[in-house]
Amino acid sequence: MSTWHRTTVIENRRWTESLFSLRAEGARLEFVAGQFVRLAVEAPQPGNEAAHVARPFSFVNPPGDPVLEFLGVIVPGGPLSPRLAALRPGEALYVAGNPAGFLVLSEVPPAHTLWLVATGTGIAPFLSILQTDEPWQRFRTIVLVQAVRHARELVYAGLIGRLAERAPGKLRHVTFVSRERAPGSLEGRIPAAVRDGRLEAAAGVTLSTEGSHVMLCGNPDMLRDTQAALAERGLRKHRRRAPGHITVESFW
């Protein structure tokens, strides 16, 4: 049974009609950048936790930040996300005390280039990772791939711009917009761009078994199809006992 912490919402930012970010304070959680934690609107009752509605959300904030931040999307008719999106400053947000997940850099073997590939809210754990020192110290080049349906869903552009300033030229931000044309963004889906070389051309770096590691987070179709496209290039899933080139997070 998890320990639940009551936090207080200090900001609910609506990026679009369906995307929102919650910022809350009041709980100090120990976690590793890239992990997720369950959120709830009401406090789960001891002995009846299974009946409570809670869902996992990745941290946007880095470890040690007193303000917790989460990026969410409204699922129409869903039991939790519309309620989270409606929270106002001063209202309660309950956070489980047991963050988890293996989309963390300690699970990534040595590489020259780190590829962080996300669709939608899958960008969240990568923003947490990029706000720590480790990726900047370990990798020569970092490629952040952010894929959305509409250009207005390219959230956190300001934060990404500030992160890029930490080491000019080290962070390459490649965006995809699939349902409209958007200046500066690639069209279509990530797997197709892996196969035809457009992703590498946009990033200005080679994606190969020599020196590349890819972390994936997002919708199941992207995870499946991108892994298949990468496998065609010789990249394989990373396991502790069999080091590879791909690390995947999926809690859908």
Parent domain of 49: 4-96
What does the pLDDT read at residue 244? 94
Q: Which residues pair with 66 in a beta bridge?
A: none
Do 43 and 130 fall into the same domain? no
Do 13 and 80 fall into the same domain? yes
Do 28 and 55 fall into the same domain? yes
Domain count, the chain: 2
What does the pLDDT read at residue 37? 97
> What is d(CA 241, CA 180) in angstroms, rounded to the nearest whole number?
43
What does the pLDDT read at residue 197? 97
The confidence band for 240, taking pLDDT boundaries of 50, 70 and 90, is: confident
Domain limit, last residue, from 62, 96, 130:
96
Ranking 30-39, 112-121, 243-252 by mean pLDDT, the lowest is 243-252
Do 110 and 151 fall into the same domain? yes
The confidence band for 46, taking pLDDT boundaries of 50, 70 and 90, is: low
Query: Are residues 190 and 218 in contact, defined by beta-carbon separation less than 8 angstroms?
Result: no
Query: Are residues 131 and 68 in contact, defined by beta-carbon separation less than 8 angstroms?
Result: no
Mean pLDDT calculated for residue range 71-86: 96
pTM of this structure: 0.95
- Residues whose CB is less than 8 angstroms from the CB of residue 102 and which lie 6 or more positions away in sequence, other chains included: 247, 249
214 pLDDT higher than 70: yes
Which CATH number fits the domain that encloses residue 175? Answer: 3.40.50.80
Mean pLDDT calculated for residue range 28-52: 83
Buried b (16+ CB within 10 A) or exposed e, 79-99: ebbeebbebeeeeebbbbeeb
Domain limit, last residue, from 96, 114, 139:
96
Do 44 and 70 fall into the same domain? yes
pLDDT in tens, 193-207: 999 999 999 999 999
The confidence band for 231, taking pLDDT boundaries of 50, 70 and 90, is: very high
For 95, half-sphere exposure in the C-beta direction (CA atoms, 13 angstrom radius) is: 28
What does the pLDDT read at residue 52? 74
Do 20 and 111 fall into the same domain? no
Do 57 and 80 fall into the same domain? yes
Do 124 and 231 fall into the same domain? yes
Query: Are residues 55 and 39 in contact, defined by beta-carbon separation less than 8 angstroms?
Result: yes
Question: What single-letter amino acid sits at 92?
Answer: A
Do 173 and 87 fall into the same domain? no
Ranking 29-43, 44-58, 165-179, 197-211 by mean pLDDT, the lowest is 44-58
Mean pLDDT calculated for residue range 133-150: 98
Which CATH number fits the domain that encloses residue 14? Answer: 2.40.30.10
50 pLDDT higher than 60: no
Buried b (16+ CB within 10 A) or exposed e, 114-131: bbbbbbbbbbbbbbbbbb
49 pLDDT higher than 80: no
What does the pLDDT read at residue 252? 56
51 pLDDT higher than 60: no
What does the pLDDT read at residue 249? 79
Mean pLDDT calculated for residue range 168-182: 96
What does the pLDDT read at residue 48? 62
Domain limit, last residue, from 56, 75, 96:
96
